[in-house]
């Protein structure tokens, strides 16, 4: 990959805003957020969104299949179901497996959500309990996930539960957790904007960094980090904040669509650079590759 020069922020902003506008109407069917939008009540959307984000790894079809199994047994009001649930096995979830996460891991996660809702009334209230008002949400996110692990009832959390409830303080990107925060805090489409308390603001969000977004972020010079970790997320977000100080992750929906919908893939000649709004500033566009590195 050609080494990125110092970014031209005004030019970067121009093309990123164009990309954002082009993808704002992309169908929700390409994203697990669709499942949360199916519920009318805020409490149910919050629960469904957390589960959708937690299982947002792997192929899109596999994610959709798993969520289509998890949510129906919780009924039309999953928040109320969890508040009244006695912790016994839930009919309909027998034998469920999503890659390395199994039925026992899912029940541990549901016990944590159940305890949090009964104790705090919402996941937002639990999150705000640990929010110190810092520049970003990494520290309170770590406290939030730790509080859920404590409420799972597992003295020694399994590999699957540790994956579902990671530790941001260890330096990983924790993409799914930051994706959930994006859905909760941002109110602009397609996000839900359910969390409005305390000092929560879109300006404090970090770019959810998975392999697709990390690769495209490197193409655009948003980060030079070789791995999709917390440092890469912070570096890319810092540059996006120069483009849109109040809502830096507003570009995440569009950037992630490029990878998820195979508009931009590692094999550049199979990418659709000819219809991509950021192609003129992408150092791995077909034009750049065919003419040599810039």
* 7 and 64 belong to one structural domain: no
Q: How far apart are CA 224 and CA 280, in angstroms?
A: 19
Whether residue 186 is found in the same domain as residue 103: yes
Spatial separation of the C-alpha atoms in residues 211 and 228, rounded to whole Å: 6
| Average pLDDT rounded to a whole number, residues 69-73 | 98
Specify whether 70 is located in the same domain as 10.
no
Domain-terminating residue out of 202, 231, 248: 202
Picking from 182, 202, 222, the residue at the C-terminal end of a domain is 202
Closest CA to 277 of 17, 30, 25, 28: 17
Main-chain phi, psi angles of 245, to 5 degrees: -60, -35
Query: At 237, is the secondary structure helix, strand, or coil?
Result: helix
DSSP 11-63: HHHHHHHHHHHHHTT--GGGSTHHHHHT-SSHHHHHHHHHHHHHT--S-HHHH
Whether 162 and 65 share a structural domain: yes
Question: Do 261 and 285 fall within a single domain?
Answer: yes
Crossing angle of helices 230-243 and 211-219, rounded to 10°: 50
Residue 288: its pLDDT value, please? 59
Q: How confident is the model at residue 268 (pLDDT cuts 50, 70, 90)?
A: confident
- pLDDT grade for 50, boundaries at 50, 70 and 90: very high
Q: Are residues 136 and 221 in the same domain?
A: no
Same domain, 49 and 172: yes
Average pLDDT, stretch 154-158?
A: 87
Instruction: Locate 161 and state its tokens.
Output: 């539960």
Q: Could you list the residue range(s) of the whole structural domain that residue 37 is in?
A: 31-202
Q: Are residues 183 and 230 in the same domain?
A: no
The residue out of 181, 202, 223 marking a domain boundary is: 202
Q: Is 246 helix (H, G, I), strand (E, B) or coil?
A: coil
Q: Could you say which DSSP state residue 229 is in?
A: B
How many structural domains compose the chain? 2
> Do residues 220 and 197 share a domain?
no
Tokens representing residue 244 in the block: 């849109």
- Burial readout 180-211 (b: 16 or more C-beta within 10 A, e: otherwise): bbbbbbbeeebbbebbeeeebebbbbbbbbbe
22 and 37 both lie in a single domain: no
pLDDT greater than 80 at residue 287: no
CA distances, 113 to each of 18, 92, 166, 231, 251 (Å): 39, 18, 15, 29, 30
CATH classification at residue 237: 1.10.1670
What is the Cα–Cα distance from 266 to 259, expressed in whole angstroms? 9
> Do 20 and 36 fall within a single domain?
no
**Whether 255 and 212 share a structural domain:** yes
pLDDT, one tens digit per residue, over 84-122 is 999 999 999 999 999 999 999 999 999 999 999 999 999
Least confident span in 4-18, 24-38, 66-80, 142-156: 4-18
**Average pLDDT over the chain, rounded to whole?**
93
pLDDT at residue 3, as a whole number: 55
């Amino acid at each position: 990959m050609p080494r990125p020069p110092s970014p031209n922020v005004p030019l970067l902003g121009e093309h990123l805003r164009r990309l954002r506008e082009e993808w704002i109407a992309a169908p929700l069917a390409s994203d697990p957020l669709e499942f949360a939008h199916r519920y009318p009540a805020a409490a149910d959307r919050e629960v469904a969104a957390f589960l959708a984000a937690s299982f947002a790894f792997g192929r899109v079809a596999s994610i959709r299949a798993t969520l289509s199994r998890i949510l129906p047994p919780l009924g039309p009001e999953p928040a109320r179901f969890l508040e009244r649930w006695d912790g016994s096995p839930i009919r309909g979830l027998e034998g469920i497996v999503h890659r390395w996460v199994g039925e026992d891991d899912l029940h541990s996660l549901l016990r944590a959500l159940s305890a949090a809702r009964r104790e705090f009334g919402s996941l937002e209230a639990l999150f705000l309990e640990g929010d110190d008002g810092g520049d970003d949400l990494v520290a309170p996110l770590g406290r939030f996930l730790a509080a859920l692990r404590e409420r799972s009832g597992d003295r020694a959390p399994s590999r699957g539960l540790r994956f579902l409830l990671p530790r941001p303080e260890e330096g990983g990107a924790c993409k799914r957790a930051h994706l959930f925060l994006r859905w909760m805090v941002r109110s602009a489409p397609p996000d839900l904007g359910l969390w409005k308390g305390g000092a929560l603001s879109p300006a404090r969000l970090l770019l959810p960094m998975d392999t697709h977004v990390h690769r495209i972020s490197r193409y655009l010079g948003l980060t030079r980090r070789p791995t999709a970790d917390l440092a890469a997320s912070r570096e890319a977000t810092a540059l996006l904040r120069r483009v849109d100080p109040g809502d830096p992750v507003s570009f995440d929906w569009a950037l992630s669509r490029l990878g998820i919908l195979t508009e931009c893939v590692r094999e550049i000649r199979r990418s659709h650079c000819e219809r991509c709004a950021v192609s003129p500033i992408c150092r791995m566009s077909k034009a750049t590759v065919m003419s040599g590195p810039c």
